[in-house]
Structure 1
Amino acid sequence: MGSGISTIDTIIIIVYLVGIMAVGILAGFKKDTSSEDFFLGGRSLKWPIIGTGLFCANISTIHLVGLASSGYQHGLVVGNFEWMAAFCLILLGMVFAPFYFRSKISTLPEYVEKRYGSVARSFLAGIFIMSALLVHIGISLYAGAKVLEAFFGINYIVSIIGISVITAIYTILGGLKAVMITDAIQAVLLLGGAALLTGFGIQALPEVGIDSWAAFKAACKPDQLSMIQPILAEGAPGRFDLNEFSWYSILFGYPVLGIWYWCTDQTIVQKILSAKTEKDGRDGAIFAGYLKILPVFLMVLPGAIGYVLFKEKIGDDPDSTLMVMMTELLPVGIRGLMAAGLLAALMSTIEAALNSTATMAAEDIFKRVRPGTPDRQLVTIGRITAGVVVVLAMLWSTQGGKFGSIFEAINKIPMAFAPGITAIFLWGIFWKRGNNQGALAAMVFNVVIGLVYLAIDIPLIGEKQLIAKELGIPFMQVGWYLFILSSLVYFVVSLATPAPAAEKVEGLCWTRPLDALRGKLEGTITDPRVMAAILFAIMIVLYSMLH
């Protein structure tokens, strides 16, 4: 066994892994399951389960390891990735979910076919499967392997294989219902573990002479506890560089990534499609927005606490922040529960991505090539796809160390496709004139430019990050500029080609933007508009407190 892990902790982790696999199989496995049961949980889920499912699909080990790492390195400003998500989830619930639910679609590419055409659907399905493989599963496995390596000293490749096999078994056998039921359990363990670590960290501060917020702030780096930072940051002596997480980068760059991820990505939106009613889907999205308030306090703040308590031990390896804190602060037993929480988070993300890739391969690709495919065969195809994707993701995950940090990896890779997808969905739902040619041109443009950007800025070619380091343009701003260019391509090509027929776009986009707010209240406090308004007000108050 590796450093910092006891026999009790090891037993807790093993019992948890076996238990969650059993729960997943028992919850979802049926011998003659239908494709709707397997891919969409029989469209029977209520809003609390949908909200926790959305939260868990997002919060993976990447977040627990990556947010602590970035909190240590950059401070609370990284929490904007969590709090800005609340606004995107309001958009999902208020603007996008009604059309997704009313269209009775199984996948997001299916909506794109209704709105734009079959070629756009195929192109988007391919992008979504690749993004699930590269971002949701591949980099998640890398983060999980770091956890197991730190605790057990297990070979990193063995860790990746073990995590993948356990998660794949219950996801492939149980389908979406297995994913959602295990997510509800994992959400409790995940948030409980994060809260305990934060509590033990705060308790340890008086031991190093920190007994007030002012003393804590003084012990941190300048602006480490500020959510809003200036455009320019002090670099080398006499030089100022663009601040990677400035208010400008966050305000304009985050929505590009956020709308893609929260409002258009199959891995996330599949939870909305499984709702029992439209109201459940919309409320579930907004409930997830409330849950996204928590990670700033339970996952980013511990990184700043780690800087004050253990900067000598962590040194120049910020990705080790969480591991050091768990080893130094948590007692036996609690450490095992926290490690199980890390694995829970990892498995939640992988299972959601596997189920979404299985759905898209069966519904968007195979069913269209062979329309008469029996329902049972579609489920088999989905299961085989999930197995193939997890193997490919295992191979890709070995490249995780090429990035500056895990958190940077999950946000930089989507630049190859996210801005174009955000453009075609956002303008497509508000502008009836947008057409198939415009959507295809915008997506192809983004993929071509985005892949060139990744090649020179990961870097896959050479050793220098030409855009981020040489030109000093943060990746968040790159996303904003790519969105503007993709939108321009979308508008120009749409206007230069025939408009879509009026009946083709009927019921697929808003006639007037404010239509999303009209209609009578449903259940008052749980009406999506009321829940969204309260959440919006809470976010404004929180930002005013931590500016």
Structure 2
Amino acid sequence: MQIYELLTTLDFIVVIAYLIVLIAIGYWVSFKDKQPTEDNLFLAGNSLGWPSIGLTMWGTNVGPSMLIASASIGYTTGIVAGNFAWYAFIFIFLLTIVFAPRYLQAKVQTLPEYMGKRFGDSTQNLLAWYTIVTVLISWLSLTLFAGGILIQQILNIPLWLSVLILLMIAAFFTIAGGLKAIAYTNVFQMLLLIGVSLALVVVGWQKVGGMDVIISQTPKSYWNLFLPNDDPNYPWVAILLGYPVMGVWFWCTDQSMVQSVLGAKNLKQGQLGANFTGWLKILDVALFIIPGVLCFVLFPNLENPDHAYMTMVTQLFPAGMTGLVMAVLIAALVSTIDSALNALSTVFTMDVYVKKYKPEASQKSIIRIGRIVTVVGAVIAIFLTLAIDSIKGLNLFDVFQSVLGFIAPPMSVVFLFGVLWKKTSTKAANFTLTFGTILSIGVGILYLWVFPKADYPFWPHFLLLSFYIFIFLSILVILISLFGPRDTIPSSLVYQKISKTSSQVKWLWAALIVVMVAMYFIFNGHS
């Protein structure tokens, strides 16, 4: 039975009522909050403590797209995808010890600004364009793709129409002023989503009959984090070598992830917040992947594993409750889509249009350009989403990871060398951001569309491809920096001695490292 056939009139009433309440809250907030609050909005006036930082980083990473995709991969392969949550602790540690002290010492608001101080305006301009591309692909198109699949499951309509509906809902919220409500209720919505996933695990666990039954009815490989090197889905070498490229980019250089650390009261609070995120990531497997494993035991004959999450919701929750879950998923997706469109508009308007072409632009002109970019970005995102839908042979989770894997290498190389090696030249950084991006995304297009691995099995795993591109670009950076022209303009970053990490931060990280190593031992003993 299809998911849309299991939904009741009460479910749809709950969805509509929830969205109307959000819009009403938006109006109330708009009328109530008349004071300008933009001055310190971006970094919260450097007032964030560790709980806010940890929860914000985790919440940015944990969205509706992740719920749907993680349940899908849990259904097909078990907990091996937990590596994308648990292996992350190494790169969150890297952010804590290596990157955060330098970012905060430089007193920057954005990471392109940091690279601008390191290499000059040319690099900052290139990073602005790189950010535009990554926002379009990683935050907007992939979210629209996951959201489109959700709407498709609910209404039984084509994906292109699902995506249009999602964009129309986002536009409607923007016009009605309701997105301010989503911003104010986002924490509540994330807690609700986490609560729903926990409830799914508990109810599913009880329905299955406990751990012994789950283990007896799933392949032994479902409980291993590292699978043999001949595994077609996630061989251990591909994860070990390939994920770090994505990990450095995502956790150490992506503005959306690092922004809350930049807004820390001080270095210690930023480091404690990042550590808290590392602890929270432990929950990802239980909350988001295990529902997929439970779905495999309860409903082993699903035609499409991407339906695992909503199948669990519709089959295990009563009418009305299912509607509430759908409403929260849609509202949270709309929030992510609007945030991505807003980021796209802001970066293009301020970092490209105003900074490079029209420094004297009027406020009216800036607003007009911002609106045009939002509309153009939405149209481009629709076509990118349909392109992502045409990828063959990959489930939703693998689509996400493969697309991100081809975005990551240039940024990881530039930041690692820019931060850790003083001899890295501006020409090397700029060449990597231009040629490296064309190479990386070009290989991705060949891998995913032109010669898809489903039809051309000569390709290595996409994570290994990402690793090979990273190594190639790293060699180029070293060669260009050593044998190319030296920088004539000195970096405006003062390479002072970095602030010492407090003993409390060190002890908490030592404890987390011990726990994570233990988890890897526990979940690799099943043969």
If the TM-score is normalised by the length of the shorter chain, which range does it land in? 0.7 to 0.9
TM-score, normalised with respect to structure 2 = 0.87
Letter in 2 for 1:432: K
Change in 2 beyond 3 A, CA 1:519/1:455: closer
How much has 1:36 moved relative to structure 2? Answer: 4.2
Cα separation, 2, equivalents of 1:25 and 1:277: 35
Q: Secondary structure at the match of 1:504?
A: coil
1:51 maps onto 2:68 in alignment:
no
1:194 maps onto 2:197 in alignment:
yes
Q: Which position in structure 1 is the counterpart of 2:215?
A: 217
Q: Which position in structure 1 is the counterpart of 2:385?
A: 397
Cα separation, 1, equivalents of 2:275 and 2:310: 32
1:430 maps onto 2:427 in alignment:
no
Aligned pair partner of 1:251 in 240, 246, 250: 240
How much has 1:359 moved relative to structure 2? Answer: 3.5
Cα separation, 1, equivalents of 2:340 and 2:305: 27
Q: Secondary structure at the match of 2:197?
A: helix
1:123 maps onto 2:126 in alignment:
yes
Q: Is the 8 A contact 2:24 2:178 kept in 1?
A: no
Aligned pair partner of 2:465 in 458, 478, 503: 478
How much has 1:37 moved relative to structure 2? Answer: 4.6
TM-score, normalised with respect to structure 1 = 0.84
Cα separation, 1, equivalents of 2:30 and 2:341: 15
Q: Where do 1:144-183 residues align within 5 Å?
A: 144-153=147-156, 156-167=159-170, 181-183=184-186
Q: Is the 8 A contact 1:445 1:486 kept in 2?
A: no
Cα separation, 2, equivalents of 1:33 and 1:148: 36
1:458 maps onto 2:460 in alignment:
no
Q: Which position in structure 2 is the counterpart of 1:227?
A: 225
Q: Deviations over 1:448-479 (max 9, x none)?
A: 322332222111x256557xx52241111111
How many residue pairs get matched? 518
Q: Which position in structure 2 is the counterpart of 1:108?
A: 111
Cα separation, 2, equivalents of 1:95 and 1:31: 41
Q: Which position in structure 1 is the counterpart of 2:478?
A: 491
Letter in 1 for 2:99: F
Cα separation, 2, equivalents of 1:100 and 1:337: 41
State which drifts further: 107-116 or 40-49: 40-49
Cα separation, 2, equivalents of 1:440 and 1:101: 24
Q: Which position in structure 2 is the counterpart of 1:9?
A: 11
State which drifts further: 260-269 or 386-395: 386-395
Cα separation, 2, equivalents of 1:50 and 1:21: 27
Superposed CA RMSD in Å reads 3.2
How much has 1:310 moved relative to structure 2? Answer: 0.8
Q: Which position in structure 1 is the counterpart of 2:512?
A: 535
Letter in 2 for 1:106: Q
Q: Is the 8 A contact 2:179 2:335 kept in 1?
A: no
How much has 1:378 moved relative to structure 2? Answer: 5.6
Letter in 1 for 2:4: G
Q: Which position in structure 2 is the counterpart of 1:304?
A: 293
How much has 1:39 moved relative to structure 2? Answer: 4.3
Q: Is the 8 A contact 1:423 1:483 kept in 2?
A: yes
Q: Is the 8 A contact 1:434 1:494 kept in 2?
A: yes
Q: Is the 8 A contact 2:123 2:429 kept in 1?
A: yes
Cα separation, 2, equivalents of 1:173 and 1:43: 31
Q: Is the 8 A contact 1:434 1:500 kept in 2?
A: no
Change in 2 beyond 3 A, CA 1:9/1:195: same
State which drifts further: 23-32 or 222-231: 23-32
Q: Where do 1:315-326 residues align within 5 Å?
A: 315=303, 317-326=304-313
Q: Is the 8 A contact 2:117 2:493 kept in 1?
A: no
Change in 2 beyond 3 A, CA 1:428/1:324: same
Q: Secondary structure at the match of 2:88?
A: helix
Aligned pair partner of 1:357 in 321, 344, 364: 344
Cα separation, 2, equivalents of 1:301 and 1:493: 47
Q: Secondary structure at the match of 1:433?
A: coil
How much has 1:171 moved relative to structure 2? Answer: 7.0
Q: Is the 8 A contact 1:49 1:180 kept in 2?
A: no
How much has 1:533 moved relative to structure 2? Answer: 3.1
Change in 2 beyond 3 A, CA 1:520/1:418: closer
Aligned pair partner of 1:139 in 139, 142, 158: 142
Q: Where do 1:365-444 residues align within 5 Å?
A: 365-369=352-356, 370-373=358-361, 382=370, 385-403=373-391, 404-444=394-434
Cα separation, 1, equivalents of 2:398 and 2:314: 25
Q: Which runs of 5+ in 2 are unaligned?
A: none
Change in 2 beyond 3 A, CA 1:32/1:397: farther
Cα separation, 2, equivalents of 1:530 and 1:172: 49
Change in 2 beyond 3 A, CA 1:179/1:222: same
Aligned pair partner of 2:65 in 62, 66, 72: 62
Q: Secondary structure at the match of 1:332?
A: coil
Q: Secondary structure at the match of 2:435?
A: helix
Change in 2 beyond 3 A, CA 1:73/1:431: same
Q: Which position in structure 1 is the counterpart of 2:208?
A: 205
How much has 1:38 moved relative to structure 2? Answer: 5.5
Letter in 2 for 1:64: L
Q: Is the 8 A contact 1:149 1:155 kept in 2?
A: yes
Cα separation, 2, equivalents of 1:140 and 1:408: 14
Change in 2 beyond 3 A, CA 1:390/1:290: farther
Cα separation, 1, equivalents of 2:180 and 2:492: 32
How much has 1:71 moved relative to structure 2? Answer: 1.0
1:273 maps onto 2:275 in alignment:
no
Letter in 2 for 1:94: I
Cα separation, 2, equivalents of 1:55 and 1:475: 25
State which drifts further: 170-179 or 136-145: 170-179
1:288 maps onto 2:272 in alignment:
no
Q: Is the 8 A contact 2:22 2:182 kept in 1?
A: no
Q: Is the 8 A contact 1:139 1:410 kept in 2?
A: yes
Q: Which runs of 5+ in 1 are unaligned?
A: 234-242
Cα separation, 2, equivalents of 1:27 and 1:108: 31
Q: Is the 8 A contact 2:74 2:289 kept in 1?
A: yes
Q: Is the 8 A contact 1:53 1:271 kept in 2?
A: yes
Q: Is the 8 A contact 2:15 2:324 kept in 1?
A: yes
Letter in 2 for 1:193: V
1:89 maps onto 2:92 in alignment:
yes
Q: Is the 8 A contact 1:3 1:153 kept in 2?
A: no
State which drifts further: 140-149 or 29-38: 29-38
How much has 1:488 moved relative to structure 2? Answer: 0.6
